[in-house]
A and B are shown apart, each in its own frame.
Chain A
Amino acid sequence: MNRKSPIAFAALLAAAPVTLALPAATGSAVPSVPLTTFTLDNGLKVVLSEDHAFPVIAYSIDYAVGSRAEPRGRSGFAHLFEHMMFQGTPNVGKGEYFKYVESNGGIFNGSTHEDYTNYYAEFPAHRLELAIWLEADRMRSLAINAENLRNQQEAVKEEKRQFIDNQAYADAFANQLTDLAFKNYANQHSTIGSFDDLNAASVKDVQDFFTTYYAPNNATLVLVGDFDPDEARRLVTREFGSIPRQPAPTAVDSTEPPSSGEVRRVVRDAQAPTPGVLVAWRGPARGSTDYYALAVLEGILFDGSSSRLYQDLVKGREVAVAIQGDMGLPGGDYVEYRSPGLFGLFVTYKPSIDARGIVGAVRSEIDRIAKEGVPADELARAKVQFRSQVVRGLASTLDRATRLGIYAAVDGDASRMTADIPRFLGVSSADIRKAAAQFLVESNRVVIEVQPAPAGGEKEGK
């Protein structure tokens, strides 16, 4: 790992390929991902990463807009819009996008997050031109009509029913957590939104959102795989180059007022077979020393069967059924984490303990870390695990494209994907102690208890 070659993304208009060199095989090897970056005249940022090991190409196009941009009354709109991106254009009829991708041996998807929305696909290498054409075609113009909108409103509502309304614990995760943790509506409301808000979306909303946010100057295209860089550049420039730039969208104000102390809520959940408790803390700024420290601490506390809380609660005291923790709740991880964001965990537990007991156990483990730090061997182990997870996360061409895309969207710099790794691996016990003492404290905490409601009972706590 070359620790000093971060590629200043925006500064490179026509960069020569910069390779993050792989050192000789040592215990600290991290993968090398060569990157070339350039920006088109219309502001589209482009990242190319050649890899000729396999005859496939993958891309991710990341738009710098997500659910935080939604005004009151339009919760869920960014995600609904994402669905509309698959509904066709003047050149690609309804249903034809799916057909073009799959009948050419490709796979694809898109996903909506708080601060960005991505569209990605993987194809056999000889379909590079088709991939670029399809993606540029829908950035240029969408076939937005009332029928397609109505249809996708229904699809999204079913998505909400399937993954949230009809699942145990999901209400607490998707709806209650951010609502309780934050005060600014941009951060408070859920990405899936409410049925009322989804129903209220109009064709004009879709058109305006498209014009404002789906402009080349608000996007980054990452292309990875078996391509000739000159040809890729020629195709990207030809297909995207004439799409007009738009005025930069107004930045979302996601600032949070200072926390006014711990908040707690009890949620009744008719579908939950056992009680559970969500504990989360408002986290540090991305890129700060505390961010790296907590990302490493996350592994030490929650991740896998050697983690402290698993060993204490599931194994040692046998009071918990399962533990799931992350930096980037609900649903994200440290890769996409951005402040205001949440570090925390969810524990389902047995009748031999109550929520108070679980929260107390979590607290005492964290207090111990804040006081004593982490022993050297445990920290070393956590870093090997971290490095291994990074490597696993890059296993396919598509994995690399989507992950580079997230770094491009969140940091404005795809090269941070690898350039950041030494920051995580350099975290010290003192860094962890300091971050735990500052952030993982009661006054900065949110606790949601999920209690099984009597059979047939209604959910409360909305």
Chain B
Amino acid sequence: MRVRLSGRALTTLAAVILAAGRLSAAAPPAAPPRAKLPAPLGGAPRPVKLPTIHDTTLANGLLVRVVEDHRLPLVNLALVLPFGTTSDPAGLPGLCQVTADLLEEGTTTRTSRQIADELASIGGALTANADADSVTVAGSALSEFLPRLVALLADEVMTPSFPEAEVSLRKTNMKQELAQNRAQPAWLARQRFAHEVYGPSPYANTAPTDASIAALGRSAIAEFHRRMFVPASAILVVVGDVDPAAAVKEISAKLGSWAGTPRAPVDAPAPPAPSRRRVLLVDRPGSVQSDIVVGTLGIRRKDPLYFPALMLDGVIGAGTASRLFQVLREEKGFTYDAHSEFRTRLNSGDWCAVTEVRTEVTKPALEELLRQVERLRAETVGAAELTAAKSLATGIFTLQLERPAALAGLLAEQRFFGLPADELETYVAKIGAVTPEQVRDAANGLCDTFRSAIVVVGDGAKVRADLESFGQVSVYDAEGNPKAAAR
């Protein structure tokens, strides 16, 4: 496991987050044009060829989707299983993730070490990760080694052995990783936000606790695997330098014998809509910045307002021309980065505006951020600004099609969320059809800051009084426990 520390190259923007389908920053206030040369904007877009998808469903219910991409001698795989951390039993958050983590730590035919060495010898990588609604086992290898990569995938998913010693080591390291996460203000902010927005819903379950890590044991993990890791409704996407028929043959040979009783779909009910604003301070003594997250319960992926909400997100916080980036950074100099985040799940979702500012400007930065969010409800978005957001979203979609791992994600999502078969073909047109009025409809649900959660991770001694002006402040420590009101 590698931790990326911040000795990285310095950049002008926070990040180019293409995998997540977005940049980090949005539309400036109309600058008065000077006498300048016009930018060359002639020419027509060239048609983007959508990939040909070869779909096969095996007898055990596993859907295999293959796309050929012969530009590089590489193959990408993504196996998406239709359950996630919302399946964790009450009181045992972390069960789904630890089960996924342990797939690579030993099977009935290979030790952890043998799996690691085998992967290395095919130039491969294979990692399992649990999200709220799904577990994804994804990886890649040099395409000449596809059969060996598939064999490893099958071994990990079908016959993991969860050796006692590996379970014990993973538990110890999970505790350490939890401590590392709690040292990160951005992590603390997302955790508090999820707990607040999703409340009693299993969608609030985002990380293990010290108590749940202690309670996790081999038998619960093995039982969870037996019950949940079944082929029915699972999706395996293959993108790369492969022959589709040969790939399907290989997959049938290795994964065709995968069996298991199909389960009823996980029912993660949507949490109740919020009725009031909440101000939550996670006290991080000595913090030199305040990490601010403001947002609310959003929509599920299949919601008819999905594309309008995506454009709302684009106007305010996707990309450097977005309002948050332009105002909070380029105008005010409060921050390095300001953006918004739009997450859609099977049965729910959330939306939030995010920035990190020096402690002294916490109050004016939060006021400005709230003003920008509320503006989306108060004013209809202008045509030019909406067109710009559509262009960025369309552009990013095109760039995702070019990136094998991102394309694999799109192909899995289309089936996972039960989207129309022509979703990729109609995606750009759906973006194009969004009207300013629809964006405002979406804003009425997402941008009511009087029903938002306002989360600030910062130095409580310095920012608490400032936060009182936004509402009654609830204070938490890094472990997520409420702190006494007096300090």
Contact = CB atoms under 8 A, between A and B. Distances in A.
Nearest to B461: A456
A435 interface: no
Interface stretch (B175-183, B215-223, B271-279, B375-383): B175-183
Contacts of A90: 34, 36
B304 interface: no
Interface in B137-191: 140-142, 144, 169, 172-173, 176-177, 179-180, 182-185
A55 B288 contact: no
Contacts of A389: 123
A389 B123 CA distance: 7
A365 interface: no
A166 B291 CA distance: 10
B300 to A, nearest CB: 27
Interface in A69-107: 79, 82-83, 85-86, 90-96, 98-107
A130 interface: yes
Contact of B398 (A56, A191, A274): A56
Nearest to A83: B12
Contacts of B435: none
Contacts of B289: 158, 161-162, 165-166
Interface string B386-412: 011001101110110111110000000
Interface stretch (B2-10, B92-100, B305-313): B2-10
**By CB atoms of chain A within 10 A, which of B117, B321, B335 has the most?**
B321
Given A91-B36, A93-B34, A168-B184, A158 B357 contact: yes
Interface residues of B, number: 103
B170 to A, nearest CB: 11
A157 interface: yes
A163 B6 contact: yes
Contacts of B25: 98
B103 to A, nearest CB: 13
Interface in B268-310: 285-289
Interface string A353-365: 0000000000000
Nearest to B333: A154
Nearest to B112: A315
Contact of A173 (B6, B104, B172): B6
A323 B2 contact: yes
B267 to A, nearest CB: 36
Contacts of B119: 304-306
A166 B287 contact: yes
Interface string A314-327: 11001001111000
A94 B142 contact: no
A447 interface: no
Given A158-B357, A271-B183, A103 B321 contact: yes
B473 interface: no
Given A394-B72, A396-B402, A318 B172 contact: yes
B391 A391 contact: no
A277 B346 CA distance: 43
B320 to A, nearest CB: 4
B172 to A, nearest CB: 7
A156 to B, nearest CB: 8
**By CB atoms of chain B within 10 A, which of A129, A137, A163 has the most?**
A163
A98 B319 contact: yes
B433 interface: no
A104 B41 contact: yes
B363 interface: no
Contact of B402 (A54, A82, A173): A54
A99 B319 CA distance: 9
B391 A105 contact: yes
A79 B13 CA distance: 12
B265 interface: no
Contacts of B31: 93-96
A37 interface: no
Interface stretch (A120-128, A199-207, A213-221, A437-445): A120-128
Contacts of B34: 90, 93
A432 B124 CA distance: 23
B282 to A, nearest CB: 13
A324 B286 contact: no
Contacts of A161: 288-289, 336, 356, 358
Given A86-B12, A109-B16, A25 B358 contact: no
A158 B336 contact: yes
B336 A166 contact: no
A99 B399 contact: no
Contacts of B3: 322, 324, 348
B486 interface: no
A455 interface: yes
A105 B392 CA distance: 4
Interface string A373-396: 000000011101101110110111
A107 B16 contact: yes
Contacts of B287: 166
A133 interface: yes
A159 interface: yes
Given A111-B11, A166-B185, A396 B399 contact: yes
Contact of A112 (B10, B358, B392, B395): B10
B12 A82 contact: yes
A8 B44 CA distance: 37
Contacts of A430: none
A301 B23 CA distance: 34
A50 to B, nearest CB: 13
B337 interface: yes
Interface stretch (A240-248, A251-259, A329-337, A414-422): A329-337
Given A82-B12, A391-B74, A456-B286, A158 B356 contact: yes
Contact of B123 (A125, A137, A177, A388): A388
A16 interface: no
13 contacts: A54-B401, A91-B37, A91-B39, A95-B29, A98-B25, A101-B321, A111-B9, A124-B45, A126-B46, A167-B5, A173-B6, A274-B179, A322-B1
List 5 tightest A-B contacts by C-beta distance, closest first. A105-B395, A388-B123, A330-B7, A154-B333, A95-B28
Given A124-B395, A173-B5, A306-B119, 17 more contacts: A56-B398, A95-B29, A101-B320, A102-B319, A107-B396, A129-B42, A154-B333, A155-B333, A166-B287, A168-B183, A273-B179, A381-B117, A382-B120, A384-B123, A391-B73, A391-B142, A395-B404
